[in-house]
Amino acid sequence: MLVTLEPKILEILHSKGISLNDQLQELCELLKAHVPYYDWVGFYFRNGSKEELKLGPYAGAPTDHIIIPFGKGICGQVAVSNANFVVQDVAEQDNYIACSITVKAEIVVPLFVNGENIGQIDIDSNTPDPFTAEDERFLEFVTAEVAKIL
Ligand code: SME
């Protein structure tokens, strides 16, 4: 059950004497380690006032996609749609940026501060068709809690 991770998430986000980057890094590692079908977990944030996303802390294989223009790929589409994007089979998506050939599915949930979409959490899965409404609610919890400390 994903909700059982919530107390630990709050503990990480409210621990003192650790940088925001390290908090988000720990959060990514927690999710990747405890959810078997979360194979890459990372944050993208709007790059200043540019119409692009920049990679933040992540856990999983290094990616070439440090900068993603708004509108490009699943992440770039969420930057403009302001809505969750659940892709159960990445092979069916034309506007998709492949990070690794092992990835089968992806979920991106936007992160709002004062109603403004300023970033997102992005999760890749090597398991086909893995995500349910439980993942969406859980990741909405994560982004809302992260938003509070930004
Ligand atoms: N697949 C993403 C690119 C980012 S990687 O998954 C880390 C996309 O289509 O936007």
Do 110 and 70 contact (CB within 8 A), yes or no?
A: no
Q: List % helix, strand, coil for the chain (3-state, nearest 5).
A: 35, 25, 35
Q: What is the pTM of this model?
A: 0.98
Q: Tens of pLDDT along 34-92?
A: 999 999 999 999 999 999 999 999 999 999 999 999 999 999 999 999 999 999 999 99
Amino acid at 8: K
Please tell me the distance from the alpha carbon of residue 128 to that of residue 122, in angstroms, as a whole number: 16
Closest ligand 1 atom number to CA of residue 58: 7
Residue of 124, 126, 131 with the most ligand 1 atoms within 8 Å of its CB, for mutation:
124
Residue of 28, 39, 75, 103 with the most ligand 1 atoms within 8 Å of its CB, for mutation:
75
125-129-134-137 Cα dihedral, nearest 10 degrees: 60
Question: What percent of the chain lies above the pLDDT cut of 90?
Answer: 98
Secondary structure (3-state) at 104: coil
